[in-house]
Structures are given as C-alpha cells and as structure tokens.
Amino acid sequence: MVAFANILVGGVFHAAVLFLVAAGLQLVFGVQKIVNLACGSFYALGAYFGITFIGYAAAAGMSPWLILPGLIVAGILLGFIGPPIERLLRSVYGRDESFQLLLTFALVLMFQDVFRFIWGSNPRSLDSTYLIYGTITSRDFSVPVYNLLVIAAAIATAVGLGALLQRTNYGRTLRATAENRAMAEALGVDVRRVYSVVFTLGAVLGTTAGALVVPTAAASLDMAIEFVIEAFAVVVIGGLGSMRGALAGALIVGLIRAYSLVLYPELEVLAIYIIVITVLLFRPAGLLGRPVV
C-alpha cells in the first residue's frame, strides 16, 4: 500500500512533465497542423538552460528557495526562440506532411549539436538543491515537496490553458484558426501572428517542462529524442490536437511507466507502444479526439 502511493506520486510527476510537453505538441498540431518533432529539443533546451540559469542565479546570491520560480522564469525566457523557428517552418505550411516532419527532424539534429557545443557531451545536473522544499514522510512513504509543486504547476498550466482556449476572445480566435484557417483569415484574423504566438506558446510549454524536471533528473543529449517519442505516445493515446487528450494520455503513460518499472521492468516501454498501437487501430482519433473522417 505504501509502495503503491510512492509509485503513484512518481507516475503523476512524470505525467505532469509529459503533459506540459504534449500540450505544446497538441497546440502546435491543433492550430498549425504540424507534428513538431523538435518539441523534445525544446524540452532538452529548457533543461540545460535551467541548469545554467540557476547556476548564475545562485552565484548572484539567489535564495535556494527561489529555485522553482527561477526555473519557470528560465523556461519562459526561452520563448524568444519560438518566432524565428516558426518563421523557418512557414516555408512548409500547406506542403506534404513528410516535408514538415523532415524539417522538424532537421531541427532535432541541429539542436542536439547545439547542446553538445554549449554544454558538452556529459550529462549535466543540479545537485539536490530541490530537497530544500523538504520531503513529506510518513513511515515508508516519502515524497519530495518539489515534485508535488511541479504537479501543482502542471495542473495550474492545464487550467490556465483551458481557460485561455475556452473563455477568452483570443482563445476563440485560436480555435477558429484551427478549425478553418481560410475562413478565420477572411474574418480578419491575423493568421501569421496567431501561428507565431501558438508556436512560441508551444515552445515555452516544452522549455518550462524541461527546466522544471532538471532538479530531479540530469540533462543529457539523448533526452530530446527520448522524450519526444514519449510525448508522441501521449498525444496519440489522447488524440491528436486535443488538450484533454494530452492530459489523459500523459496520466496513462506516466502511470504505466511507473508501475511497470516496479512490477515488470521489461514491459516498461513495450506496454506504452502496445497501447499506442491498440488506440490507433481501434480509435485512430485517440481516446478524446474527434473522429477522423
């Protein structure tokens, strides 16, 4: 029972991070119809930059208690890379999916070497400063408060995104553009600007997720290509383009990983892809997506 709770929190923590990256993927796919393989690279970028940022901030005398807000700021600061990359992607809008996939794949390759150039090939990590927030312990059960704070931040992001998309005028504009680009443009929506904003928002979700995860795990060169494939599993299970789907998918993948690691490690990744394939075969639109025609 105690182990159960430990695994549960671990799984939900993983799901929270996955959700942030997958939400970025969904946003970009929903509005721009592009599967952005580089979202894993944004995640890795956030992780590396988070380490550097916290290093400088600590040297400048930042209280270790500010590590969580500091990392969020680091993630958001990276938003500036969104517009130029979106500018590059503009050349493949409306072209064959293979070209869109390949262009983002090219970004993945380039980012990997940018990381190698700036941060070197060895994994980098923050030492366990995040434990400053303390640990909740009762008998065998123990969970770092930091992990709970990250889960809370992800929930807040989910609520915020939902409110933005459903309740605000700008959200209506985004949804209208996703629904019918030409019609939205005819009604006076500045689609170029919307695309730029959406892509940047998607990038920030990824970089923030990476920054938040870095106190608990090292940043490495492989994290981008490993994480994007997991985020991809999340959006396929949840349904391409669906925000609620990203949430459900992230929980499913996060919990399955956590439990299978304990129960039957061989199945860890295997189980996820079996679910992905099952979902694609029986409900290609995903659990919460709209049916594809």
Partner 1 sequence: MKLPHAAIVAIAGTAVLALLPLVAPPYYASLMVPFFGYAIALLGFNLLFGYTGLLSFGHAMFLGFGAYGAAVVAGVFGIKSFEAVLVLVTLAAMAAALPIGFLCVRYVGIFFGMLTLAFGMLFHSFLFKFYHLTGGDSGMRVPRMNILGLEFAKYNKIEFLAEPFYYYCLALLVIAGLLMWRIVHSPFGLHLRAIRDNARKAEYLAVHVRRFRLAAFVISAGYGAIGGAILGFRVGLADPELVYWTQSGQLVFMAVLGGFANFFGPIVGALAFTLLQDQLQSLTQYWRFILGAILALIVVGFPGGIVGLAEGLRRRRARAA
Find, among 184, 206, 246, 176, the residue nearest to 76 by Cα: 206
Note whether 290 binds partner 1 by CB under 8 A. no
Find, among 277, 147, 270, the residue nearest to 212 by Cα: 147
CB of 236 closer than 8 Å to CB of 29: no
Note whether 262 binds partner 1 by CB under 8 A. no
Question: Cβ–Cβ contacts within 10 Å for residue 115, how many?
Answer: 23
- The residue among 1 and 281 lying less far from partner 1, judged by its C-beta, is 281
Q: Which amino acid does the sequence have at 113?
A: D
Q: Which residues contact 112 (CB under 8 A, 6 or more apart)?
A: 41, 221, 224, 225
Site for partner 1 (CB under 8 A): which residue of 59, 60, 94, 117?
117
Q: How far is the CB of 262 from partner 1 (least distance, A)?
A: 15
Find, among 24, 203, 20, 53, the residue nearest to 119 by Cα: 53
Helix, strand or coil, per DSSP, at residue 283: coil
Site for partner 1 (CB under 8 A): which residue of 91, 135, 137, 180?
91
Site for partner 1 (CB under 8 A): which residue of 84, 113, 142, 164?
113
* Per-residue interface string for the shown chain with partner 1, residues 7-46, x marking contact by CB under 8 A: ----------------------------x-----------
Task: Work out the widest C-alpha separation in the chain, in whole angstroms.
Answer: 63
Q: Which residues contact 138 (CB under 8 A, 6 or more apart)?
A: none
Q: Looking at residue 210, what DSSP letter applies?
A: H
Note whether 281 binds partner 1 by CB under 8 A. yes
Q: How many residues belong to the site for partner 1 (CB under 8 A)?
A: 42
Note whether 107 binds partner 1 by CB under 8 A. yes
- 166-225: contacts with partner 1 (CB under 8 A): 225
Note whether 2 binds partner 1 by CB under 8 A. no
Note whether 233 binds partner 1 by CB under 8 A. yes
Chain contacts with partner 1 (rule: CB under 8 A): 35, 88, 91-92, 95, 97-99, 101-103, 105-110, 112-114, 116-117, 225, 229, 232-233, 236, 240, 265-270, 273-274, 276-277, 280-281, 284, 292
